[in-house]
Amino acid sequence: MTSGRGNSCDVAVIGAGMAGMAAALFAAERGLSCIQVGSGGGILFASGLLDLLGVHPVAEGRLWRSPYAALAALAREQPGHPLARVDPGAIRTAFESFVAALGEAGLAYAPLRGRNRSVLTALGTLKTTFGVPLSMVAGANLLEAPGGRQPCLLVDFRGLREFSARQIAATLGDRWPGLRCQRIDFPGFEAVPELYAAHLARALESGETRERTIALIQPLLGDAHAVGLPAVLGLGHSRAVHAAFEAGLGLPVFEIPTMPTSVPGLRLLGALERVMAARGVRRRHLSSVRALARNGNPGTMTLELDGVPGGERLSARAVVLATGRFSGRGLTADRGGVRESLLGLPVQQPASREAWHQRDFLDPSGHAINRAGLRIDAAWRPLDASGQPAMPRLYAVGSILAGQDWMRAKCGSGLAIATAWAAMEQVADHLGGAGAG
Ligand SMILES: Cc1cc2nc3c(=O)[nH]c(=O)nc-3n(C[C@H](O)[C@H](O)[C@H](O)COP(=O)(O)OP(=O)(O)OC[C@H]3O[C@@H](n4cnc5c(N)ncnc54)[C@H](O)[C@@H]3O)c2cc1C
């Protein structure tokens, strides 16, 4: 819409978690100049799997094969849920666009076919998700094969923390008789007692280490139809490393996400940073927003930044709040209640602290505190105490929104991507023609 200059832009996005990244991407794709403020958020801890909606209702723990059927049920039964407010067609487009951008940045995902997939976790459980990195999809294909689960070899590395192929095989054994496990030394790290996934991922970008690893696995294949490995197949060049393993072993190879901080989380963050750079989003990743105000000119807002010497002041025609919940610091909780950190916006929350949690911590219906957040109007603008938009061009997206429990509903990325898309539609609409960036 306008080419941004210096410290002014059409849209300032506060937050660089999944929701902030999605909002900045969609702003840039709509031709809006964008400045994004904040560091990586929960992405570093993410598995690389993009959940859309896996569980509904949360209290029943019902898993859905089709996330779109789940969304339809959500819209009927919980119309106030932020995901239920986004048109399913728009969600489809938003996901396609997000995944395409990641693919351009070198992080390929399996084609989205409108259905949820089952993916093996490091605990040996199955996770229901939607967007699956190409490096993990052979595992999902194997798990879902119509003729039953074919023999498979899981390999781990001596000394790799918190990843045991034996534990996965033991957990799944009775449901997957042909699942075998083997442990090997990681070439070049034989004498290292404790290995870290990111180090192995970097080491496997060297052709020599890759070939030595493949040569160690080759004699163990037996009747395996596929090979599962911890998610360490490269960092910035994961596509090439994965392809080299498949070619070298002559079988489908799949990664299993490891515990946070995970290599897939690092890859996702790296890819999103490349996407931002390619789309011309100006990032202030070492800064945070200290204050936000409407300034004298009714069409703009001013953001005061910390984190750079002397601070910085930005001017934006619209602002998207994507500051997350408690871990992102968008919300804080104390004895007096839950507060929105930046502007003190009213937070929808239980009437008293006693109502924050169920008596049973593992209660399947979850805890009311996890559904606390900002109330918004139909245009994704957070409301003030009188129920009016707090500012005419302030929008809120992602996990800071009220009425959802993304962790239990398995809708983290879905919530981020869908709400960012829907809010950015409103932003573009409100900003209309020429910009002032
Ligand atoms: C352990 C873990 C596992 C996960 N696994 C999955 C998974 O398997 N599948 C999936 O789909 N998703 C997963 N997620 C990610 C999840 O989708 C997102 O974390 C969630 O959607 C929240 O994203 P968000 O952007 O709303 O908030 P956050 O990720 O919390 O980001 C908030 C951002 O706001 C910034 N911020 C806060 N205040 C300010 C300020 N004043 N100025 C500037 N910046 C500010 C923070 O620094 C941060 O960048 C996982 C997350 C975690 C933590």
Please determine, for residue 435, whether its predicted confidence score (pLDDT) is greater than 60.
Answer: no
Identify whether residues 221 and 150 lie together within a single domain.
yes
Identify whether residues 289 and 242 lie together within a single domain.
no
CB distance 375 to 386 below 8 Å: no
Predicted confidence at residue 351, as pLDDT, reads 81
Please determine, for residue 161, whether its predicted confidence score (pLDDT) is greater than 90.
Answer: no
Predicted confidence at residue 1, as pLDDT, reads 52
Residue 261 included in any domain: no
CA distance 130 to 118: 9
Tokens of 196: 């870290």
For the CA of 37, the nearest atom of ligand 1: 43
CA distance 30 to 194: 47
Identify whether residues 156 and 204 lie together within a single domain.
yes
The band of 366, judged by pLDDT with boundaries at 50, 70 and 90, is confident
CA distance 314 to 302: 6
Looking at residue 262, what DSSP letter applies?
P
Predicted confidence at residue 39, as pLDDT, reads 84
- CATH, residue 60: 3.50.50.60
Last residue of a domain, one of 212, 232, 256: 256
290-299 long-range Cβ contacts below 8 angstroms, 24+ apart: 291/342, 292/14, 292/319, 292/342, 292/343, 292/394, 294/391, 299/436
Range from 43-47, 163-167, 283-287 carrying the lowest mean pLDDT: 43-47
Q: Give the pairing of strands 179-184 and 152-157.
A: parallel
CB distance 403 to 329 below 8 Å: no
Is ligand 1 within 6 A of the CB of residue 268? no
Residue 368 included in any domain: yes
Is ligand 1 within 6 A of the CB of residue 292? no
CA of 416 to the centre of ligand 1 (A): 9
CB atoms within 10 A of CB 237: 17
Is ligand 1 within 6 A of the CB of residue 130? no
Coil, strand or helix: which one is 293? strand
Identify whether residues 84 and 232 lie together within a single domain.
no
Please determine, for residue 179, whether its predicted confidence score (pLDDT) is greater than 60.
Answer: yes
Range from 216-220, 225-229, 360-364 carrying the lowest mean pLDDT: 360-364
Residue 67's domain comprises 8-103+267-431
Is ligand 1 within 6 A of the CB of residue 416? yes
Is ligand 1 within 6 A of the CB of residue 131? no
Residue 29 included in any domain: yes
Residue 311 included in any domain: yes
Residue 173 included in any domain: yes
What is the model's pTM? 0.95
Residue nearest to atom 14 of ligand 1 (CA): 46
Q: How far is CA 258 from CA 150, 269, 315, in A?
A: 23, 16, 41
Identify whether residues 367 and 237 lie together within a single domain.
no
The band of 6, judged by pLDDT with boundaries at 50, 70 and 90, is low
Is ligand 1 within 6 A of the CB of residue 53? no
Is ligand 1 within 6 A of the CB of residue 51? yes
Q: Tens of pLDDT along 252-282?
A: 999 999 988 799 999 999 999 999 999 999 9
Tokens of 127: 């996770």
Predicted confidence at residue 436, as pLDDT, reads 37
Identify whether residues 315 and 363 lie together within a single domain.
yes
- CATH, residue 208: 3.40.50
Predicted confidence at residue 94, as pLDDT, reads 98
CA distance 374 to 212: 53
CA distance 396 to 318: 11
Residue nearest to atom 13 of ligand 1 (CA): 46
Identify whether residues 365 and 406 lie together within a single domain.
yes
Q: What is the dihedral of CA 78, 83, 85, 86, to 10 degrees?
A: -150
Q: Tens of pLDDT along 142-160?
A: 999 888 899 999 999 999 9
Is ligand 1 within 6 A of the CB of residue 403? no
Predicted confidence at residue 3, as pLDDT, reads 41
CB distance 231 to 258 below 8 Å: yes
Last residue of a domain, one of 256, 280, 310: 256
Number of domains in the chain: 2
Over range 15-34, report the average pLDDT.
Answer: 97
Range from 8-22, 114-128, 288-302 carrying the lowest mean pLDDT: 288-302
Last residue of a domain, one of 225, 256, 287: 256
Identify whether residues 252 and 284 lie together within a single domain.
no
Is ligand 1 within 6 A of the CB of residue 23? no
Looking at residue 421, what DSSP letter applies?
H
Is ligand 1 within 6 A of the CB of residue 382? no
Residue 371 included in any domain: yes
Q: Give the pairing of strands 152-157 and 117-120.
A: unpaired
Identify whether residues 242 and 339 lie together within a single domain.
no
Count of alpha carbons within 13 angstroms of residue 156, beta-carbon side: 21
Residue 242 included in any domain: yes
CA of 142 to the centre of ligand 1 (A): 30
CA distance 315 to 317: 7
CB distance 375 to 383 below 8 Å: yes
Residue to probe by mutation, ligand 1, list 323, 407, 410, 421, most atoms within 8 Å of CB:
323
Strands across the sheet with 179-184, in order?
A: 179-184, 152-157, 227-230, 253-256
Predicted confidence at residue 299, as pLDDT, reads 83
Residue to probe by mutation, ligand 1, list 52, 287, 399, most atoms within 8 Å of CB:
399
CB atoms within 10 A of CB 437: 23
CB distance 415 to 399 below 8 Å: yes
Average pLDDT value for the chain: 93
Is ligand 1 within 6 A of the CB of residue 38? yes
Over range 199-216, report the average pLDDT.
Answer: 97
CA distance 286 to 39: 6
Please determine, for residue 5, whether its predicted confidence score (pLDDT) is greater than 90.
Answer: no
CA of 328 to the centre of ligand 1 (A): 6
Identify whether residues 143 and 283 lie together within a single domain.
no
Identify whether residues 63 and 154 lie together within a single domain.
no
CA distance 24 to 32: 9
Is ligand 1 within 6 A of the CB of residue 121? no
Is ligand 1 within 6 A of the CB of residue 324? yes
The band of 111, judged by pLDDT with boundaries at 50, 70 and 90, is very high
Residue 112 included in any domain: no
Identify whether residues 410 and 302 lie together within a single domain.
yes
Q: Which amino acid belongs to residue 60? A: E
